[in-house]
Amino acid sequence: MKSDYQAHWEVLPSAPTEYLDAANLPPIIAQLLYNRGVRLSEIEPFLAADRRLAVNPFLLPDMSQAVSRIYKALLSGEKIAIYGDFDVDGITATATLVEGISWLGGKVTFYIPDRLQEGHGLKSLAIEKLHNQGVGLIITVDCGITNLTEAKQAREMGIDMIITDHHTPLETLPQAIAVIDPKRENSRYLFHELAGVGVAFKLLQALFHKDSREKSLLRFLDLVTLGTVTDMVPIVGENRYLVKEGLRVLNSTPRIGLQEMARLAGLELGKLDAKHVSWALGPRLNAASRMDDASTSYRLLTTNSLQEAHHLAARLEEKNAERQKLSNETLNKVKEKLATKMHLPLLMESDEGYPVGVIGPIAGKLVDEFCKPAIVINLGSEVCRGSIRSIPEFNIAAALEKCRDLLITFGGHPLAAGFVTSRQNLPTLEEKLMSLAANQLSHLDLRPKLVIDAEVPLSTFAGDTFNLIQQLEPFGQGNPLPTFLTRQAQVVELRNFGNQSKHLELKLKQRDITWRAVIFNSQKAPDEIPSCIDIVYKVEKSFWSGEEVLGLNLLHFAPSG
């Protein structure tokens, strides 16, 4: 928590009276819905998050062509390869299509590239390898939309290709039998924010259309939830339905690998929510490709052996611990080298020693702390790999498009992307990206900002208010856990706790209302906390002395007045 009083607090404007009246809900709930851009006509389906949010898969571009080509392969016994990506979204999408098409009787293999040796996207050598294995149809998941050269190569080799992706297309599409991407300009699919695994699931829905087993596809929604939440796509629209239903499936998943991973992570099936996926399960599945080989996570998701599940889950637990240690060490080095560059509009740091597997999360932590776009680059002798995380005010995918003449490959989203460039082009690339950032950001206040849903007294949360707020679940990107501001809270008691006493527990009182509050990683001694404070916080359940209790998770505070 930043308790240096420097963060900018932005309280969102009050909802119009006509909205509050027409919503027919408690004012605080109506305000939260208004903050999230939910129109009056959308309130009921938003809260229900049911099948009404699902969209017809045949509205996705080229879906009919894809279904026809896959059934042709099924009828002829042709060998099909699912070509995935190595992050959680790609791994879960790969598992979804391999299992689903196998269920239809298909002869299916899969290929997941190595993060360190191959990088993102389709690779020529991999296509040649699949061709030599007798593959006649390649279906990509979570990749391929920008791989024009590789798609052309596959076509010339006599391999048909179906692209399924959710990244932003280029002006020219790959040469393929079908290119399924909700972000295509001509797409009639009104929801554009599916994750890669979401697009793969929609392909399965289309394949199983009118099949007696169509309803059984819900069993794949545990995978869809893992990929969707971890890839940090907005949990709005159809994603609300997929994740809400997927959490139900995940909490009773028959996948013994997931059962073992949850157990070793100290989680209890039946009580998992999106936060557990984001902070515990997702990072463990990602740790395989960041530190070793993504196939470990794929095998964990698909194994039927309890012994193998236990071995793989233990390996992921070990790799995740290594990832955390390596990330912390590298982050400290990056921040040291950036110390003289903090005035720049874009933070860009490179070194031969930055591990490719952790540069993305490190860039994300820099963005969280300094509220600026951040690029961390692994320098090779000839080729450099960079990971970028950004802020809403700077579309990094569009910026890379403007630099494409300096790049070997690139791709991603407005807030997260990656690229490969030659070492000789790196200085020019840095200069151009810095110029773009300066032009777009120099006039903006980029102080760390806390967006607050409402200013309320502590008495607001008496009674059933917390349970009503839970109707907005699942929370995530685009629908964050609500943040509140309360002024004039009296500090009655406080004490340090936890490892090295770096956390702080407070008892706060306002009139006759008393709440327990926690400041994690406060680095503050009790005598540094004023006796009366304004607080920014989230209301959350946590375990305290073995019991589940409701409390305040303080994000920031300042002396009252």
Convert the pLDDT of each residue in 20-31 to its tens digit: 999 999 999 999
Which is nearest to 437 in space by CA: 334, 332, 341, 340? 341
Asked if pLDDT for residue 3 goes beyond 50, the answer is no
In the predicted model, what is the mean pLDDT of residues 183-190?
92
- Which residues lie below 8 Å from residue 90, measured CB to CB, with a gap of 6+? 84, 112, 141, 142, 143, 196, 227, 294
Q: Where are the domains of the chain?
A: 8-46+450-559, 57-212, 340-441
Which is nearest to 560 in space by CA: 454, 506, 487? 487
- Fold classification of 57-212 (topology level): inorganic pyrophosphatase (n-terminal core) (3.90.1640)
In the predicted model, what is the mean pLDDT of residues 92-98?
98
CA 293 to chain centre: 20
For the domain 340-441, what is the CATH code?
3.10.310.30
Mode of pairing for the β-strands spanning 416-422 and 383-389: antiparallel
pTM equals 0.90
Q: What is the pLDDT of residue 245?
A: 97
Phi, psi of 346 (to 5 degrees): -135, 130
Tally Cβ neighbours within 10 Å of residue 120: 25
- Class of the domain covering 8-46+450-559: mainly beta
Asked if residues 398 and 414 have their Cβ atoms less than 8 Å apart, the reply is yes
Q: Which of 180-194, 251-265, 436-450, 539-553 comes out lowest in average pLDDT? A: 539-553
If pLDDT is split at 50, 70 and 90, which confidence band does 484 have?
very high
In the predicted model, what is the mean pLDDT of residues 242-271?
96
Q: State the chain's mean pLDDT as an integer.
A: 92
- CA terminus-to-terminus distance, the chain: 21
In the predicted model, what is the mean pLDDT of residues 207-236?
91
Omega within 30 of 0 (cis) for the link into 474: yes
